[in-house]
Amino acid sequence: MTCCIGAESRDWIERRGSWKAAAAALHSTEPTLGRWLKGAPCATETAQRALMTLVDEGRA
């Protein structure tokens, strides 16, 4: 599965204040986020998007 995390995810990362903070919120690493944004496979894309929503809503 190719990840289609795009511009909206870049905005989400920027709202976290840093790539490091965004990676921590997603229980991931900065290099992994970078690969996903470049279109690398992301088997957990649905879960990552759900987690991003929960973080935005203050529920995670």
Give mean pLDDT in consecutive 10-residue pieces for the chain, a chain of 60 residues.
Answer: 66 91 93 88 87 92
- Residue 13: how many CB atoms within 10 A of its CB? 21
Predicted model pTM: 0.79
What is the pLDDT at residue 38? 86
| Residue type (1 letter), 56 | D
- Inter-residue contact 19 to 13 (CB < 8 Å): yes
Residue 16 tokens, joined: 């976290």
What is the pLDDT at residue 3? 58
